[in-house]
Structure 1
């Protein structure tokens, strides 16, 4: 066999008898490969793979009802909700208008003056319940709190923005908060584009909402409201957690509803065990060996009355009963000496329960609930045992991005939608000037409505250390006054204006500038004192008596 034949033979051996690829075992490139993983996952439930919107539709009503029940009947869950509201919304988010002046062609001075006027007018409108609330019950800050609670309860915020004038010189824009349960679950159409009470276009954008309302006769009827009018003004505000092809939201407490039930069961079981430990049982045990010893307590006549064991036992019980009837053993009398029957022993039995692990186990359950709600365990429970400055700081730093995310994507979106509708009305009514009026605003709506919504500052374990850290970052240029003020829930422009007013007032009263660094004020004071001493030395007529 020559070299060519050998090469051809080796090639046939590699290819195989049918001319295909080499005959070797192929390994599947898949997750959960291996006997151990297959055995472990094989014993688990196999959940169906569905779109998230379908899962929400199937579980929305049950999850919402359970979440509301837990919040209303659990002090801890109610406290978690209050802590989350305080962190995200606080006393209400404050508007900081930031129009994109470069896109609008405005000077910095014009943008500053326009923003100041807008913020002032919005503050006046939002502070009046008759102006901002369709029901004339809540200010805008209170509406924000109620809206965010609706998000925690239902997983979404639903509001209408009707336009009507309550007072002769008042505005038109009003906010009507509605429970998301009002969205119709039965409305359908021929193209299957109406889901959960939301009618959508082919891309999933909301066109209208079918909401159950109460008519003038008190009957519940489904009414359809347009999502936006021809000018793009929102008529319905619907806010929920962002998701792919999302139609409705679900309460963020849904993953821990089972844990909430476990906490209640653990608390009830521990309470029952604790109550049982306050009770005791007492028994009397006789140490007389065997039934033969019973005869020693009987007379010869009594022994001759019967030969069976049952008779002997009955007689023994009668004798012991007569004994204790005369001895009057009473466990309720304090300090009494009990005379027991011969060979009897009084034993006390106490209920036992391994409750020493309750604190640790309950703590982990409560931590899971607090984590899902976006607050720290210490903040939700008020339990700071074992907490240190470092642990509190790292806990706050870990949770704070969740607070900012919900502030921006939930509460901020709600506020921004209402602000845009209000600003369009103000410009259309001529109360706020804009280039080319309402038409100019509609053409540049995005640039004109750009704004920040400032909320409560992040909680600090040590304010002095935090202030020093901010001061250091400002000195090295790693942050700005705007960023520092925003971290404390304030607008840096308002702070600068207030500082100028305070400085001018202090100087007019002959007082030092209160905003100068302490070192500079101490140096000025030292120089003034040194100057006074020099004047006294240069004056020969000066005496201490003068």
Structure 2
């Protein structure tokens, strides 16, 4: 019983009893999370005032500011720029490559027939994808569009792609891709929808299904925005179900309609770190400059100093400005003096502090510090662990890009190719299951970095020999190549070597530390 309760008990014992009973009852109710993370009584949590709303209040009403800040960091904060570009390089690289994998058993095809069909289809797709005709602006091929789409999604939170049909010379295909920046998807006239059926340009029906997008002709910050008009694009065709527009975003909450930039959780850390780095850099530059200050009783009659006119060293727009520079001389007025200032730069604690902050940023972005900063100074095991951890994130995002962008585009291409008779696919338009069987594909990108190629190759050989993997998979993951293409070429190479009288290649015995050379073996 505290002092207040004691005082009340002397005046009104009944009131004091009620207060004691209420406190006991409160302690009973204050259990579970109420006694820990949800407690409002603990001093450490009492000042933690929070408010949480739906995805509309927490996300949709803030995406405009988030996009602007994300782009500003990308343009002016080196760590933010490196994080996004590094992710694009490792996820997309030079572009995800199509590897057609049809369900030949369901299609009643032999493996040989399936391989021949896949080869023809990959050749046709490469013809379309490697040309700028696949881009509505005729500026990028499909691989470059992948890079643009993925970078825009990371930076802005989401990006949109339409699939118009445009007839062009020297190509049998009309399918084109038009990349639309996130800002152009907005409410008509930028007006708020009272029934919330249209939020940030995304329209839903009574079930909550996205049915259409409202696209402005101009960016909201464009000089042409005064003449803006909006076009309503249905998500898919009503008769064919063909997608008219692709919305690439990663959701973090149910009922969310627009994406959040990947850097959003670390905006403050990145901005403050950029400011700190700029301040330290400026301090180091100033500290590295040696400047002479000369006090003169009559500046106007001082004349030149070593051929330098003092008046030329001052800012004509600011009479009180003092210039600094490498070996610069500044003249001071009568009565003025300079007090030495030693900024103590470079700061010995700078690197340690930046490292600590970057570790937190890397953890939020799923990029280990070593990978984020390209700084591998630890042991082989630690560096490999960092690469493997980062690779999990890269593979997840690659699967996302393949599923949400590459595969829908490929299916739209294949539909046109079959309709035009350039690819023979019986039953393609008759049964959705048959169409799905024909559309099976893998999308291969850049391979994982190797710290010790010899160990990686030995591990791959062991997996293949033990039956845990295949030569095709290991070839793709190690080099990004094609095993069957390599095999065909190697047959030709080895035949040429034997014909020329060269010895057989060196074989590595992975079961021991020794290697065995076959250089002395006779040729056939």
Of 148, 153, 170, which residue of structure 1 is paired with 2:155?
Answer: 153
Deviation digits for residues 448-506 of structure 1 (CA, Å, limit 9, x no counterpart): 22211111111121111111111222222222223323323636xx3223312331353
Cα distance, 1:275–1:120 mapped onto 2, change above 3 Å: closer
1:119 counterpart = 2:122: yes
- 1:382 aligns with 374
Give runs of aligned pairs for residues 86-105 of structure 1, distance below 5 A.
86-105=89-108
Change (3 A) 1:197 1:513: farther
Q: Is 1:453–2:462 an aligned residue pair?
A: no
Change (3 A) 1:178 1:396: same
Q: Is the Cα–Cα contact under 8 Å of residues 269 and 361 in structure 2 kept in the other structure?
A: yes
- Work out which of the residue numbers 385, 404, 417 in structure 2 matches 1:426: 417
Among 73, 97, 121, the residue aligned to 2:76: 73
| Cα 1:72–1:233 shift into 2, 3 Å | same
Deviations, residues 403-431 of structure 1 (Å, cap 9, x unaligned): 01111113542111111111111111111
> Using a 3 Å threshold, how does the CA distance of structure 1 residues 411 and 359 change in structure 2: closer, same or farther?
farther
Deviation at 1:136, TM superposition (A): 0.7
1:228 is matched with: 236
> What's 2:404 paired with?
413
Matched residues in 2 for 1:202 and 1:515: separation? 68
Deviations 1:83-103 (A, max 9, x none): 111100000000111122333
SS at match of 1:223: strand
| 2:459 alignment partner in structure 1 | 469
C-alpha distance in structure 2 between counterparts of 1:257 and 1:267, whole Å: 15
Residue matched to 2:348: 356
Partner residue of 1:486 out of 470, 476, 497: 476
Mapped contact 2:79–2:270 kept (Cα < 8 A): no
Matched, 1:58 2:91: no
Contact 1:458 1:487 (C-alpha < 8 Å) held by counterparts: yes
Q: 196-205 or 347-356, which moves further after superposition?
A: 347-356
In the other structure, the counterpart of 2:198 is 194
Which of these residues, 243, 251, 260, is aligned with residue 250 of structure 1? Answer: 260
User: Which residue does 1:444 correspond to in 2?
Assistant: 434
Cα drift, residue 351 of structure 1: 4.1
CA distance in 2, matches of 1:452, 1:161: 21
What CA distance in whole angstroms lies between the structure 1 residues aligned with 2:192 and 2:340? 70
> Greater CA radius of gyration, 1 or 2?
1
For 2:399 and 2:416, locate their aligned partners in 1 and report how far apart those are by CA, in whole Å: 24
Do the aligned partners of 1:164 and 1:172 also contact (CA within 8 Å) in 2?
Answer: yes
Aligned to 2:178: 176
- CA–CA distance in structure 2, aligned partners of residues 62 and 499 of structure 1: 53
Change (3 A) 1:435 1:44: same
Q: 1:42 aligns with which of 34, 43, 46?
A: 46
Report the Cα distance in structure 1 between the residues aligned to 2:31 and 2:195, rounded to whole angstroms: 40
What is the root-mean-square deviation in Å for CA atoms of aligned residues? Answer: 3.3
Alignment of 1:532-543 (within 5 A): none
Matched residue pairs, number?
437
Cα distance in 1 for partners of 2:145, 2:43 equals 53
For the residues of structure 2 that align with 1:508 and 1:272, how far apart are their CA atoms?
A: 63
Where relative contact order (Cα < 8 A, 6+ residues apart) is larger, the structure is 1
Q: Which runs of 5+ in 2 are unaligned?
A: 1-23, 293-338, 510-514
Q: Distance in 2 between matches of 1:143 and 1:57?
A: 27
| 522 and 378 in structure 1: CA distance in 2 versus 1, 3 angstrom threshold | closer
* Partner of residue 30, structure 1: 32
